[in-house]
Chains A and B, each alone.
Chain A
Amino acid sequence: MHILHHLAAAVPLALAASTDAPEAASWVDPLLQQLVTGLSNGMIIALIAIGYTMVYGIIELINFAHGDLCTLGAFLALTIAGALGVEAWGGLGGASGVVILLLASAVFCAGLNWTIDYVVYRPLRNAPKLTLLVSAIGCSFILVNVALFWGGLPMGVFGGGVAAAAPKDFPGLVSDDNLLPAAWHVTFTASDLLVVSVTLPLMVALTVLVRYTKLGKAMRAVAQNPTAASLMGIDVDRVIGSTFLIGGALGGFASVIYALYNNTISFQMGYRTGMDAFTAAVLGGIGSMPGAVVGGLVIGLVRALSDGYLEARWTNSVVFGILILTLVFRPSGLLGAKLRDKV
């Protein structure tokens, strides 16, 4: 949150600089543009990263299936968009279409995530951690295949079901026109605005939930010590289920934002996105929600700056290099709590 505050202060200054001094503008404009791109991408990653970090915080599971859950959320959004013909609704109708997609996807992903926990992970509560991990990997594969089949639906939006495995174009419900005046030399589109206007309130809402509600308190208690929490009268399974529910909902929101921002979905889109989000969660300190946000933003920015100023072919290495360096100097991640050895 602090970083955003500083950035919010810096941006108008830089923009002023770019409009006043055309010579100085030549390096400022591209940089600002990359920052905008990086932050938008970063927010999407952050939203998905929160899903990873929530589940990890509570049952110490790296939920490999989370990225693919988001894939299914995106496919649902595309199906609904096609079925309702949302693309044809103009103006305000388009906006309400987006809201419908967001809600539908959130509900779907929340329910699906909860179900996966109930069916696959709950019976394994006492199993070794790595058993759970392999189950998550198995779920990931299953979800990917479901997405593959989904993409083969004989609907117009899926290309008539001919090419199930190909990437799908997502309707451009949000325009790419620059919202800023041309003199500012920076492009900030409605897609960027959408990303910001959905992720920020969600993060605030989540913080409120975790800090001030009973459920949030229960979640923190279970994360700290499940046995003690159950002795205190907390229904641990229910709390874990709720965590999956909320994490899934966030994933659902993220999937629609992702689809609207990138305008493409594919059955394998969970791979890179999931990896970035998981990396972000760890970078920020796994188990810490503000950490996941910071991690996401950092990764988004690093990617954009590396693509823009270094070489795109090294970007993945740069991201992981920064991760490794950070962990060497801050072993619990940027905002992670220092883990104390329990004796």
Chain B
Amino acid sequence: MQNRLLASIASLAIASIALAQGSLKIVSSLPRTGSANAQTTSMVNGIKMAIDEVGGKVDGMAIEYEDMDDASPQRGNWDPAVEAQNANKALADEKVIGYIGTYNSGAAKISMPVLNKAGLVMISPGNTYPGLTKPGTGEANEPRIYRPSGKINYFRVVPTDDLQGTVAADWTKEMGCKTVYLLDDRELYGKGIADVFEKHAKEIGLKVLGREGIDSKASNYKALANKIKAAKPDLVYYGGTTQTNAGQIAKDLRSVGVEAKFMVPDGCFEKAFIEAAGAANLNGKTFVTFGGLPADQLTGRGAEFRKAYMAKYNTDPEAYALYGYECGRVLLDAIKRAKTKDRAAILAAVAATKDFDGALGTWSFDANGDTTSKIMSGQTVENGDFKFVKVLGK
């Protein structure tokens, strides 16, 4: 920590000369093609708002922003080739001093080592897979493999799934459920969080009646729902996102007549999920966890963000808009503190972020690059809209 501060001060001294007129560039790499578009549009809006808030400049240097797409038409989802290209493109452009990305944890695995070797700071508004930053939570060689240079360049403003999955299981037990049936979409995020849920559920005495990995492209899950109905669980947990068909699962559970409650993680915390599932299928029986607070519960700076977003875009911000905004703000704040265009200094300044006056409250980056903010919330669905229930964890 001290070394980083010293580095910042040193570069401050040297770089006050380097503070030329010129512009700096922030890039984001998010899946803009395909079904994640709605979520990432709100994140991009959040980033733009953060930049607009400071008037598009920091200390006389103009801030440019480029919204890069890491998805490709043939995949309809994030594409490793495109993500790698984005990372290299960002590195090659000298104006780029920060990389906001990615949304999918699988995509982050591609660009993290590349950016790490070159020392460009990377802040994610959406990766929640714990192995990216926390040793011992993923594979044996994670996160060392993402830091080939030995130093940390990757940060995230969202709490990780090892927290979210755990509090989800706790909440399930609190609701009085005794048996659960687990589903996951067999992807990095969904399977990861379902694994965490399963592990903790067993620890606290919930009985896991079954665990199935689904095909996220199937047209319906009625046969699977028939099976679940026969097992009669108190709650069905699906580790996945709206894009991996969470809505259809909810629908088919209800149409087949499964009475159990349904719980999903924050990959489903968006209006598109309610639309996809049909409000009638969710009302009163569905619960969503989220690593943060929903828009209407925000206070202070968060509430201001929400008001400004509504004024500008005529709609409530989605869950992740806030994280996009926060990433933008952290980066801009770091530029201001570093007072220089130098990538290494800005990286150091980001790492030194302490007691940041964020939209989610005050938080810092810890030694792994994770946020110290551990606020989790639980929502339910009522009258076709999300309704905040309570803060989870603590």
Contact = CB atoms under 8 A, between A and B. Distances in A.
A–B: direct contact at CB < 8 Å:
yes
Interface of A: 30, 33-34, 37-38, 41, 141, 159, 162-169, 172, 176, 178, 187, 189, 191, 258, 261-264, 266, 268-269, 271-273, 303-308, 311-313, 315-316
Contacts of B224: 307-308, 312
B366 interface: no
B21 interface: no
Complex A-B, nearest 9 residue pairs according to Cβ-Cβ distance, in ascending order:
A163-B38, A313-B213, A307-B223, A166-B272, A304-B223, A165-B35, A167-B276, A272-B217, A176-B255
Interface string B213-224: 111011111111
Contacts of B186: 313
- Tell me the interface secondary structure of chain A in the complex: helix
B277 interface: yes
A163 B226 contact: no
B73 interface: yes
B225 to A, nearest CB: 9
A315 B222 CA distance: 13
A177 B78 CA distance: 40
A165 B38 contact: yes
Interface of B: 34-38, 73, 76, 186, 212-215, 217-224, 226-227, 230, 242, 245, 247-248, 251, 254-257, 271-272, 275-278, 280, 315
A262 B76 contact: no
Given A30-B230, A162-B315, A261-B220, A268 B76 contact: yes
Nearest to B76: A268
B35 A264 contact: no
B37 A272 contact: no
A312 B214 contact: yes
Contacts of A191: 255
25 contacts: A141-B73, A159-B275, A162-B315, A165-B34, A166-B272, A167-B35, A167-B242, A167-B245, A168-B275, A169-B251, A178-B257, A258-B219, A264-B247, A269-B219, A272-B218, A303-B223, A304-B222, A304-B226, A305-B223, A307-B224, A312-B221, A313-B213, A313-B215, A315-B215, A316-B215
A263 B35 contact: no
A251 B11 CA distance: 66
A271 B277 contact: no
Contacts of A176: 254-255, 257
Nearest to B212: A312
Contacts of B280: 172
Nearest to A169: B278
Given A169-B247, A307-B227, A313 B212 contact: yes
Contacts of A162: 38, 271, 315
A263 B245 CA distance: 13
A67 to B, nearest CB: 11
B35 A34 contact: no
A269 B272 CA distance: 16
Nearest to B36: A165
A292 to B, nearest CB: 18
A41 B257 CA distance: 18
Nearest to A261: B220
B256 A163 contact: no
Contacts of B245: 167
B279 to A, nearest CB: 8
A264 B276 contact: yes
